[in-house]
Amino acid sequence: MIINLWINDKEFMDDVAPDKMLLDYLRSKGFFSVKRGCETSNCGMCTVLLDGKPVLSCSTLTVRANGKHIATLEGLQAEALEIGGFMADEGAEQCGFCNPGFIMNVIAMKRELKDPGEDQIKKYLMGNLCRCSGYMGQLRAIKKYLAAEKEGAQ
């Protein structure tokens, strides 16, 4: 099937198999920030933004992205580096493998929710699996990042 989509504002037109997963398509195009974790839609490592909403690319068919805009960490580097800095400061990046999924979800949450509380943050990020930490470092980092963003906006 011929598809037309935009990845990080660059247009792509390709003939793809109807069963090709978006994760595999993105990695074939060189977007290696999109990680393969569990392949069961349980870890969040493959999260990308599809028309601004977080989706799990391991369980999204590429043809479902036809006509849509996809954002990966490669296209959101400034925001990703800033959030990543907060995560590093809080010791939340032990191996770093889960960070792309967390960061993509934080970006989506920041765009969707105005001044989220701790319960909203936890609920928004509950699909992200980290095998190294107890999630407290990530939670502290996200809260500090959001507070700094709020301060900077005033």
Range of the domain at 9: 2-74
Domain identity same for 21 and 53: yes
CATH number where 58 lies: 3.10.20.30
Domain identity same for 90 and 44: no
* C-alpha neighbours within 13 Å on the C-beta side of residue 97: 11
pLDDT at 42: 83
CATH number where 104 lies: 1.10.150.120
pLDDT at 150: 86
CA distance 63 to 12: 12
- Total domains, the chain: 2
Last residue of a domain, one of 74, 89, 117: 74
In this prediction, the residues of the chain whose per-residue pLDDT falls under 50 are none
Q: In 3-state terms, what secondary structure has residue 44?
A: coil
CA distance 18 to 39: 18
pLDDT at 26: 98
Last residue of a domain, one of 29, 52, 74: 74
Note the Cα 117 to chain centre separation in Å: 20
Domain identity same for 67 and 25: yes
Domain identity same for 61 and 89: no
Cα angle at 72 between 110 and 75, to 5 degrees?
Answer: 90
Domain identity same for 46 and 17: yes
Token pair for 89: 């400061």
- Quickly tell me which residue has 């290696």 as its tokens: 32
Domain identity same for 102 and 70: no
